[in-house]
Structure 1
Amino acid sequence: MSGGRTATVRWVPAAGLDDLWEGDLLEVAAGGERVLLAHLPGGELRAYQARCPHQEFSLADGDLDGTVLTCAAHLWEFDLHTGEGVNPPGCALYRFPVRRDGDRVEVGIPEDGVRHHHRCRE
């Protein structure tokens, strides 16, 4: 899995399920972080840092085709099942834990802060 999950997270409300239909992307502020929520086919929820590793453009402006997100700025692609780069393959998005709590979506923000942002191999 991508990103640097830590053992202790605090769960913070991020959105209502009515705000995030299947196939949608939504950028939210959660626990001091900009988070991209994705509602993938089959009802899976994913949460990543909301900026592209290339030049920090908002991923919420991108195009979601199935589980592949294409950044609108320079067409970098990421598989939102894993956060791993499709093109280029050496990059990955930082992934946050995410869960449903009734009709709310909550994101797990590391208690000790986000230590690792997205990563790209040189």
Structure 2
Amino acid sequence: MSQTEYRAGSLAALEAGEPVITEIGGVEVALFLCEGEVVATQGQCPHAEGPLHEGEVEKCILTCPWHGWTFNLKTGLCGEDDSIVLQRFPARVVGDDVLVTL
């Protein structure tokens, strides 16, 4: 299956302090800033499908707003259950555009 790069949002929006949620080809993608780097993940929590863009991020740890489960944005690993991994997508910044590969 070939992969395609899509514009998912703007760097300025992320730098303003708010995660971005978007849908690309039927896939919900959430964008976060983690130590100055853009991270793209699945939009819903793999634990119970909570809206991850509404969660809190502190030192690259994302906390789901529904049940408080935590995910390392650098690795995708879940702090509460190591068998659960947050899906991440390749992302890069070109100018103000955040491009995500799906």
For normalisation by structure 2, the TM-score amounts to 0.90
Instruction: Name the counterpart of 1:27.
Output: 21
Contiguous gaps of at least 5 residues in structure 1: 1-5, 110-122
Instruction: Name the counterpart of 1:56.
Output: 49
In the alignment, structure 1 residue 82 sits paired with structure 2 residue 75: yes
Contiguous gaps of at least 5 residues in structure 2: none
Identity %: 35
How many equivalent pairs are there?
102
Q: Which one of the candidate residues 52, 61, 71 is aligned to 2:64? A: 71
In the alignment, structure 1 residue 15 sits paired with structure 2 residue 30: no
RMSD of aligned residue pairs (Cα, Å): 1.6
Contact 1:37 1:47 in 2 (8 A): yes
Q: 4+ residue stretches of structure 1 with deviation over 2 A?
A: none
Distance in 1 between residues matched to 2:62 and 2:81, nearest whole Å: 12
Distance in 2 between residues matched to 1:82 and 1:44, nearest whole Å: 13
Question: Shift in Å at residue 23 of structure 1?
Answer: 5.4
Distance in 2 between residues matched to 1:82 and 1:24, nearest whole Å: 21
